[in-house]
Amino acid sequence: MGADAGFDMVPRLSQGVKDRMKWERFLEVVKQHYAGDGQVEVGSRVIYFKAGEWPSLPIEGHKFLRFSSKITGRIAAETGVENYIREVMSMAKAFFGGQIRPWTELCDEFGFYRWDFVHASIKSYESEVPTPEPIPITSVNNQGTDCDTNLYKVMTIPGRGRGLVATVDIPKGTRILCEKPLLKVESSMPEFVNRCVAEKLKLLSKDKQGGFLSLHNNFPGPYAFAGVVRTNALPCGPGSSVGGIYLTACFINHSCIPNAHNNWNEAAQYETIHATRDILVGEEILISYAAEGSSQTRQQRLRESFGFQCSCELCSQSPQVIQASDKRRADIQRLDETIGDPVAMMNSPQKSLAACHNLLQILDKEYAGAVIALLARLYYDAFQISVAHGDQARASVFAERSYMSRVECEGEDSPATQWVKSLMQNPTKHSTFNAYSTKWRTSKTARPRNLDADSFDKWLWRLSA
Ligand SMILES: [Zn+2]
């Protein structure tokens, strides 16, 4: 057995230029520091430390999750692996600060990532399979006019006006776009919206005015500005009555099975678009304007609110396929309501947790796995059920999964991501900790360490209980 120690990179590095350069500089420092040290070998894919269990650093930083080894026992002592871990960690901290998370099992601390993920990451950089060219992440588009279009281009889509089309393969979780609104406007009577927009437009440059006027209007009539807003505005937060108009994000079309997620970052005052599944070059980037209800309900809502008939991948399927989807969406809604019921959560948490697990599987089927925004919420619900009955071990795992989903669909800078991250570190911070009972009481470190993924999931969802 023995104890492991090391550090994890949380969150992992992106393939963006900034992260790549930082990692390169870090590796340079490591190489210089260990030049002439016979135990450190620099390969074409990886830097090995022939000490302890041979911890390693990949040349490609986005693949890196953990640097660690057993630190107890004769081999660890003779090869001085603990020194290497300490030194490499202090160099890494100088570059990556709080992203470097140290842990040592001697103090009952454990790594952030599950071992199966870590092993998969190590396999990926120790294998000989060449990796695709890294894709840069777009920078914040403050002006709304000069987007980094490395990832997409604006094109005319037959029957749908303009849309965004991927110009490279975009991996799941990538930030495709980050854009400040051209203007924000409170929803109201068309006459009022029209006047309000006219006032705001006067303050903008000619270019930006032109950009606004070039946006599509599905509601012709006396209030053209209000029509543009109604056709194009993205809500500033779920259910918000304030909408933002963007010169690029507004071109993103709707799908009932989207491949991207839009989120308003209230703290930073910008809209982000993240890929919720791998998007292939040539595919249109699509978000959901309306996800709830049956196909008929959605069609009606899209017609009334945005002025178009949906003919997405789902809506153009056969009636049988649409019917099966309608049934799943009704189940999703029913389960969502069951999970949100505080009385059930208090009296029969086992059932509430089972409903979460059931919902997880239906979501996966309905959205073909590309459902990370709903997953983040689902895992947060499972967190709340666990923490309200004192189960810190499962609560911290659920918070961790919710956090990882949030990072993928909203980014590390989203306030919701930060909130769930703090709960992952300390579940007792939540106001409902022990609120219903302490019958499931566990400590945060009581999560099992040596289970395979299936057995771990059984433990997590209490399936064998
Ligand atoms: Zn549709």
What pLDDT does residue 127 have?
67
Contact 251, 287 (CB under 8 A): no
CA 258 – ligand 1 centroid, Å: 9
Please give the distance, rounded to the nearest whole angstrom, from the Cα atom of residue 255 to the centre of ligand 1: 5
Instruction: Find the 256 Cα to ligand 1 centroid distance in Å.
Output: 4
pLDDT at 128: 45
Residue 146, pLDDT score: 32
Cα 253 to ligand 1 centroid, rounded to whole Å: 11
Measured in angstroms, how far is the CA atom of residue 296 from the centroid of ligand 1?
10
**235 C-alpha to ligand 1 centroid (Å):** 19
pTM above 0.75, yes or no: no
pLDDT at residue 87, as a whole number: 92
CA of 458 from ligand 1 middle (Å) equals: 35
Alpha-carbon distance values, 133 to 11, 15, 322, 408 (Å): 21, 9, 38, 20
160 C-alpha to ligand 1 centroid (Å): 13
Output the CA 367–ligand 1 centroid distance in Å.
12
Give per-residue pLDDT as tens, 68-125. Answer: 998 888 888 888 899 999 999 999 998 898 889 999 888 777 888 777 778 888 888 8
Task: Tell me how far the alpha carbon of residue 219 lies from the centroid of ligand 1, in angstroms.
Answer: 20
Show the tokens assigned to 117. 């993920």
Q: Residue range 194-206: average pLDDT?
A: 91
What is the whole-number distance in angstroms between the Cα of residue 313 and the centre of ligand 1? 7
As a whole number of angstroms, the distance between CA 58 and CA 267 comes to: 34
- Per residue in 338-379, pLDDT (tens digit) is 888 889 999 999 999 999 999 999 998 898 766 677 899 999
Residue 75 alpha carbon to ligand 1 centre in Å: 60
How much distance in Å is there from the Cα of 326 to the middle of ligand 1? 12
| Tens-place pLDDT, residues 50-70 | 998 889 999 999 989 999 998
What is the whole-number distance in angstroms between the Cα of residue 166 and the centre of ligand 1?
20
